[in-house]
């Protein structure tokens, strides 16, 4: 909520903070302390031994969700942290909603049971 409140005043800060907060949550849940961005989400959700997963969905849907995380970071976050942004408020709101959806998907993911 704090990021949504600050979106109009400083969209770039709100968006960057959202990306960082999402990474921090996934790092904490997975103990993947030394990775970030696309690599973090790939290791957390993808591969032969993911650390987090979404139960009761098809493999293709799971891969699609992982692609949402990695795609959002490649398409939006990377550019935002490496260059000054001139994002207008309409585009910032759309990007904010995308980040919000990633938070929802992260919250729905559960830890993979160790056998």
Question: What confidence tier does 78 reach under pLDDT thresholds 50, 70, 90?
Answer: confident
Residue 73 domain boundaries: 2-111
For residue 115, what pLDDT is reported? 60
| Residue 17: count of CB within 10 angstroms of its CB | 15
69 vs 31: CA distance, rounded Å: 18
What local confidence, expressed as pLDDT, does residue 82 receive? Answer: 74
How many domains does the chain divide into? 1
> In this predicted structure, what is the pLDDT of residue 34?
92
User: Mean pLDDT across the chain, nearest whole number?
Assistant: 91
For residue 96, pLDDT over 80 is answered with yes
Bridge partners for 111 per DSSP: 52
pLDDT of 86 reads: 74
Is pLDDT larger for residue 51 or for residue 115? 51
pLDDT per residue as tens digits for the range 11-31? 999 999 999 999 999 999 999
């Amino acid at each position: 909520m704090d990021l949504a409140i600050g979106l109009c005043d400083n969209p770039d800060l709100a968006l960057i903070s959202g990306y960082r907060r999402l990474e921090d949550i996934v790092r904490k849940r997975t103990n993947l302390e030394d990775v970030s961005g696309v690599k973090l989400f790939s290791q957390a959700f993808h591969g032969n031994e993911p650390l987090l997963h979404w139960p009761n969905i098809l493999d293709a849907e799971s891969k699609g969700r992982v692609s949402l995380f990695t795609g959002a970071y490649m398409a939006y976050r990377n550019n935002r942290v490496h260059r000054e942004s001139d994002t207008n408020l309409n585009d910032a709101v759309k990007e904010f909603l995308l980040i919000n959806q990633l938070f929802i998907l992260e919250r729905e993911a559960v830890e993979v049971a160790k056998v």
